[in-house]
Amino acid sequence: MRLVVGLGNPGPRYAFSRHNVGWLVVDALLETLESRRSLSRYHGLLWGPFGEGERSFCVLKPVTYMNVSGRSVAAAWRGLNLTDPAQILVLFDDVHLPLGRLRLRPKGSAGGQNGMASIIGALGTDQIPRLRVGVGEPSRGELADWVLSEFSRSERPLLDKVLEVAVEAVHRWIEGEAMDRLAAAYNGMSLS
């Protein structure tokens, strides 16, 4: 069993914000799975399981606020009887990457992303695979205002490409492709 986790904040105010790009990737992934039915579980919305045997997986959107995402992921970890943090792939925004860039890592620090920090704290390990989706840095103003702002109309075509490529990477991870191969395929790619 594998678990794909998209990070975001609940509520319509945040729906298309940069901080919710993890949820946007999950939404695009669910379109490829033709699944709209979710269960309210583990302090989140859960879809699945999909697939069979070693290729089975679930998809989770924590509905806690970003900063306490670890509560949801830890509950799913226990509830789905996961045993290895490598069974989880966390999708989230990264202001240190420009829009149009992805970065896959098998482990590491939270890099300043509070949702990932919460998950690392809740699971007690940083050995958690993640897909960081670039949302760019603000040219001026507060970082908090920037990540909570929506993508501009001019950014939407590039965002669509990013979501498509991110979903492709997630599908390859679900199929069991090694993280180092995925990193080699996607980390140097620029979609802009």
pLDDT in tens, 125-166: 999 999 999 998 887 878 888 888 899 999 999 999 999 999
Measured distance CA(126)–CA(110) in Å, rounded: 8
Show me where the domains of the chain are located: 2-186
Burial tier of 11 (Cβ tally within 10 Å: 0-12, 13-18, 19+): exposed
Q: What's the pLDDT band for 188 if we cut at 50, 70, 90?
A: confident
- What b-and-e string marks burial along 138-162, b requiring 16 or more CB atoms within 10 Å of the CB? eeeeeeeebbeeebeeebeeebeeb
Measured distance CA(156)–CA(29) in Å, rounded: 17
- Does 19 qualify as catalytic in the annotation? yes
* Residue in 19, 43, 96, 171 annotated catalytic: 19
Average pLDDT in the chain: 92
Residue 37 has pLDDT above 80, yes or no: no
Q: Average pLDDT of 80-108? A: 95
Contact criterion met (CB below 8 Å) for 113 and 92: yes
Measured distance CA(140)–CA(178) in Å, rounded: 39
Q: What is the predicted pLDDT for the residue at 166?
A: 97
- Ranking 20-29, 42-51, 121-130, 136-145 by mean pLDDT, the lowest is 136-145
Q: What is the predicted pLDDT for the residue at 111?
A: 86
Instruction: Output 169 or 36, whichever has higher pLDDT.
Output: 169
Superfamily covering domain 2-186 = Peptidyl-tRNA hydrolase (3.40.50.1470)
Instruction: Output 34 or 146, whichever has higher pLDDT.
Output: 146
Measured distance CA(31)–CA(167) in Å, rounded: 10
Q: Average pLDDT of 161-183? A: 96
Contact criterion met (CB below 8 Å) for 133 and 115: no
